[in-house]
Amino acid sequence: MACSYPSVSELVTDARSVYRQVFENEAPLVAVCAPGRVNLIGEHTDYNQGFVLPMALPLVTVVVGSKTSDREVSLVTANKDVDEPVRVDFTLPSDGSPLPPGSPSWANYVKGVIQHYRAPPLPGFRAVIASSVPLGGGLSSSASLEVAFYTFLQQLKPDDGDDVSKALSCQKAEHTHAGVPCGIMDQFVSVLGKEGHALLIDCRSLEATSIPLADPHLVILITNSNVKHALTGSEYPTRRRQCEEAASILGKDSLRDATMKDLEEAKNKMEDVTYQRARHVIQEIERTAQAAESLKKGDYVKFGKLMVESHNSLRDLYEVSCKELDELVSAAMEVDGVYGSRMTGGGFGGCTVTLLQASAINKTIQHIKEQYSGTPTFYVTTPTQGARPLSMS
Ligand code: GLA
């Protein structure tokens, strides 16, 4: 019923065979992978220095390759649905000058990571990318590519190994080379995700607490709406600006420092839309802290209730949901044994995440399929480890 996806070793095998085909039958010496993520709760809070509660997925991006003795880079992607060409060649600038983004767009993430790598200068290399993270599906395919590539570069020329700085460099790559002013959540969990655990990340202190999430009676179901509305690109920076404006009216560094009381007192000093955005963020930060407590206690009923509140707030106050995501959440919530469901990630399409009793999985998938007006894809997932080098044997 749920979608099957290639294992890490299958992806490595595919990437190795592409490498051999493209690079004169040579074998790559290094392999690494980095996961995509699903966020359980805490949406649009990371760039407001709040809490988020994501987990790393078994859907990963793999990079295989070898260094060369010159400064030439050859990159090949084995991914489907990317813009052409699938191979890119360039020379690393010897004077540390920037590697400007260009086309194809998939290579920009790699160029950004090279530019922000923390132990320059890098040697040249050849590399092949393969991924099981659906591209543009809201499960952080781009962060998993950035982090996988950073991890690959660490095998060629080690940096100091500081994981938080690594996540920050990958976030910078997204800012400068993909033009998305994202928060730190996706890159952070792709680097630091822990098997069998969700990660409560404090996006102000950049400290994370891992919370066990390996109850065999519980299932985390991801449903891909398979729609992506064009708004995604322009709306994200607008939301970010509105939050900054609200924080500045409240005289705070960020909305993390604001309370609902502060907001109510300043309500008539701001436009209604700014008030609504800030209200979502302030309440969502609080909900995420409460959800983490509920998860620690195994109180899935409370956790599920907070998920639905989060979804409703993203739909009504933050206005980043869409008809398809709302349909998926409503359908999931009609099934007995479902604790909670919500849109996950930036919004305007992509995926929902649903927490449910393991025994209810088949009927939940069936019911969503019947109710949804589009064609959904399902992933039953468990929390996995963050980025890691892989053995080539
Ligand atoms: C995208 C961004 C993240 C975060 C989410 C919304 O995934 O990359 O940094 O802001 O949207 O929670």
Name the β-bridge partners of 209: 200
The residue whose two tokens read 């080098």 is 389
Burial readout 36-58 (b: 16 or more C-beta within 10 A, e: otherwise): bbbbbbbbbbbbbbbbbbbbbbb
Output the pLDDT for position 368: 98
On whether the CB atoms of residues 55 and 199 are closer than 8 A, the answer is yes
Looking at ligand 1, which atom is closest to the CA of residue 39?
12
Report the distance separating Cα 16 and Cα 59, nearest Å.
Answer: 18
Residue type at position 95: D
Report the distance separating Cα 181 and Cα 239, nearest Å.
Answer: 11
Please state, rounded to an integer, the average pLDDT across all residues of the chain: 96
What is the arithmetic mean of pLDDT over 338-359?
Answer: 97
**43-47, 82-86, 383-387: lowest mean pLDDT where?**
82-86
The finding on whether 182 has its CB within 6 A of some atom of ligand 1 is: yes
Closest CA to 129 of 24, 7, 32: 32
Output the pLDDT for position 95: 82
Per-residue tokens: 225? 């709406």
Q: Ligand 1 centroid to 185 CA: how many Å?
A: 7
Above 90 in pLDDT, residue 278?
A: yes
- Which of 170, 185, 325 to probe ligand 1 with, by most ligand atoms within 8 A of CB? 185
DSSP assignment letter at 161:
-
Count CB neighbours of 207 within 10 A: 10
**Residue-wise pLDDT tens digits, 50-76:** 999 999 999 999 999 999 999 999 999
Banded pLDDT at 80 (limits 50, 70, 90): confident
Count CB neighbours of 92 within 10 A: 18
Residue type at position 174: E
Q: Ligand 1 centroid to 358 CA: how many Å?
A: 28
The finding on whether 188 has its CB within 6 A of some atom of ligand 1 is: no
Banded pLDDT at 272 (limits 50, 70, 90): very high
Edge-to-edge strands of the sheet including 377-381?
A: 338-344, 349-357, 218-228, 377-381
Is 186 known to be catalytic?
yes
What is the arithmetic mean of pLDDT over 283-307?
Answer: 98
Report the distance separating Cα 183 and Cα 187, nearest Å.
Answer: 9
Above 90 in pLDDT, residue 373?
A: yes
Output the pLDDT for position 3: 80
Q: Ligand 1 centroid to 156 CA: how many Å?
A: 30
Looking at ligand 1, which atom is closest to the CA of residue 185?
9
Above 80 in pLDDT, residue 231?
A: no
What would the DSSP string read from start to end of 57-83? Answer: EEEEEEEEEEE-SSSEEEEEE--SSPP
Per-residue tokens: 150? 């950073």
The finding on whether 43 has its CB within 6 A of some atom of ligand 1 is: yes
Report the distance separating Cα 143 and Cα 317, nearest Å.
Answer: 27
What is the percent of the chain where pLDDT is above 70? 99
264: Cα separation from own chain's centroid: 32
Output the pLDDT for position 393: 67
Q: Ligand 1 centroid to 210 CA: how many Å?
A: 20
Looking at ligand 1, which atom is closest to the CA of residue 140?
7
On whether the CB atoms of residues 348 and 229 are closer than 8 A, the answer is yes
Above 90 in pLDDT, residue 4?
A: no
Output the pLDDT for position 133: 96
What is the arithmetic mean of pLDDT over 316-333?
Answer: 98
Report the distance separating Cα 47 and Cα 177, nearest Å.
Answer: 18
Q: Ligand 1 centroid to 178 CA: how many Å?
A: 14
Banded pLDDT at 374 (limits 50, 70, 90): very high
Name the β-bridge partners of 130: 62
What is the arithmetic mean of pLDDT over 16-26?
Answer: 95
What is the arithmetic mean of pLDDT over 23-30?
Answer: 94
Output the pLDDT for position 232: 63
Q: Ligand 1 centroid to 345 CA: how many Å?
A: 5
Per-residue tokens: 44? 């649009």
Burial readout 374-391 (b: 16 or more C-beta within 10 A, e: otherwise): eebebbbbbbbbbbbebe
Banded pLDDT at 233 (limits 50, 70, 90): confident
The residue whose two tokens read 């997204």 is 174
Per-residue tokens: 322? 């869409």
Output the pLDDT for position 2: 82
**Residue-wise pLDDT tens digits, 89-105:** 999 998 878 999 999 99
Among 14, 46, 186, 326, the active-site one is 186
C-alpha torsion angle, residues 46, 52, 57, 63 (rounded to 10):
30
The finding on whether 346 has its CB within 6 A of some atom of ligand 1 is: yes
DSSP assignment letter at 86:
S
Count CB neighbours of 233 within 10 A: 13
Which secondary-structure segment (H or E) carries 126? strand 125-131
Q: Is 150 left (phi over 0), alpha (psi -120 to 50) or beta?
A: alpha
Looking at ligand 1, which atom is closest to the CA of residue 346?
11
What is the arithmetic mean of pLDDT over 145-166?
Answer: 98
The finding on whether 183 has its CB within 6 A of some atom of ligand 1 is: yes
The finding on whether 345 has its CB within 6 A of some atom of ligand 1 is: yes
Output the pLDDT for position 25: 87
The finding on whether 186 has its CB within 6 A of some atom of ligand 1 is: yes
Report the distance separating Cα 353 and Cα 41, nearest Å.
Answer: 9
Q: Please tell me the residue having the least CA distance from ligand 1 atom 8.
A: 182
On whether the CB atoms of residues 20 and 39 are closer than 8 A, the answer is no
Output the pLDDT for position 96: 78
* Segments of 217-335 assigned E as strands: 218-228
